[in-house]
Chains A and B, each alone.
Chain A
Amino acid sequence: MDAGTGAAPDLSPTTVTQLASSDDPRELQRTLREQPVHRVGDLFNLVTRREDVEEALRDRTGTFSWSAVGMNLGNIRPLIPLQIDPPQHVKYRRILDPLFAPKKMALLEDEVIALVKELVDTFAVSGSCDFHEEFAVPLPCRVFLRLMGLPLDDLDLFLSVKDDIIRPPGVTLDEQAPYRERAGKTVYEYFERHLAERKDHPTDDMLAQIIAGEVDGERLSDEEVMDICYLFIIAGLDTVTDSLDCIFAYLAQNPDHRRQLVADESIIPSAVEELLRWESPVPAVPRVATEDIEISGCPIKAGEQVMLVLGSANTDDAAHAGADEVDLRRNPNPHLAFGGGVHRCLGSHLARVELRVAIREFHRRIPEYELAPGTVLEYTTGLRSLHHLPLAFPAGA
Chain B
Amino acid sequence: MRILLDTERCQGHGRCYSLAPDLFDSDDLGHCVLLVDEVPAGAEADARSGVDNCPEQALSIAE
Q: Does B52 contact A (CB under 8 A)?
A: yes
A contact residues around B14 at 8 Å (CB) = 102, 348-349
B28: A residues at CB distance < 8 A: 97-98, 101
Selected interface stretch from A138-146, A200-208, A338-346, A368-376: A338-346
CB of B7 within 8 Å of the partner chain: no
Contact A344 B11 (CB under 8 A): yes
Q: How far is the CB of A91 from chain B (nearest CB, A)?
A: 13
Q: Is the interface of B mostly helix, strand, loop or mixed?
A: loop
The reply to whether A100 and B11 contact each other, CB–CB distance below 8 Å, is no
| A334-B15, A338-B13, A344-B13 known; A101-B56 Cβ under 8 A | no
Closest-CB distance, B13 to chain A (whole angstroms): 6
**Which of B13, B17, B49, B53 has a CB less than 8 Å from the CB of A348?**
B13
Q: Which residue of A lies closest to B50 (CB)?
A: A332
Beyond A98-B28, A102-B30, is A342–B53 a contact (Cβ under 8 Å)? no
CB distance from B53 to the nearest CB of A (A): 5
The reply to whether the CB of A61 lies closer than 8 angstroms to some CB of chain B is no
Q: What is the distance, in angstroms, from B3's C-beta to the closest C-beta of chain A?
A: 15
Could you give, for residues 67-107 of chain A, a 1 whenever the CB lies within 8 Å of some chain B CB and a 0 otherwise? 00000000000000000000000000110011011110000
A348 to B13 CA separation, bound complex (whole angstroms):
8
Chain B interface, number of residues (Cβ within 8 angstroms): 20
0/1 string, A310-350, CB within 8 A of B gives 1: 00000000000000000000011111101011101000110
Cross-chain contact A340 with B11 (CB below 8 angstroms): yes
A-B contact pairs, 23 of them (CB 8 A): A58-B56, A94-B29, A97-B29, A98-B28, A98-B30, A101-B28, A101-B30, A102-B14, A102-B18, A102-B30, A269-B18, A273-B15, A331-B52, A331-B53, A333-B53, A334-B15, A335-B55, A340-B55, A341-B56, A344-B13, A344-B56, A348-B13, A349-B30
Residues of A within 8 A of B (CB): 54, 58, 93-94, 97-98, 100-103, 269, 273, 331-336, 338, 340-342, 344, 348-349
